[in-house]
Amino acid sequence: MPGIASLLVAASAALMFVLGALHLLYTFRGRKLHPREAETLRAMQQSTLRITRQATVWQAWTGFNASHSFGLLLFGLIYGYLALAVPALLFGSLFLRGVGVVVLLGYVFIAHRYFFSVPFRGAVLAAAFYCAGIAANSI
């Protein structure tokens, strides 16, 4: 049976996975990630990027949202696996613990700066669970 440290890190990973899964769903289903103004959506669908004429702003927007979702899903899968299946590897590796902290704090910063309250609160909670798990393992 996993200890409290593993369960806290797994909770952090599960939260990030759920946020990623919802974000991926909203990227391809419904209109939650569409601009409110129809003119803005049309402009995004018709305008290309300066870097290339092969992609519209809308295509890039969709791709960025999907790849962002994959990052959240990947974090959730890897850190959930490490916490529950091989906790000695996770807790014994300063590198893996450090990457987890940096990634989560990066998501906290990005969510605070560029997103809205739900992903920000989710990232803060995931970071808190993760840090509590790391701290609990040290006790």
Average pLDDT over residues 50-61: 96
| Domain ranges within the chain, ordered by starting residue | 4-28+67-138
Residue 134 has pLDDT above 90, yes or no: yes
Average pLDDT over residues 106-129: 97
Contacts of 102 (CB under 8 A, 6+ apart): none
Q: What confidence tens digit (pLDDT) does each residue in 75-116 have?
A: 999 999 999 999 999 999 999 999 999 999 999 999 999 999
Strand partners, 48: 56
pLDDT band at 55 (very low <50, low <70, confident <90, very high): very high
pLDDT band at 40 (very low <50, low <70, confident <90, very high): very high
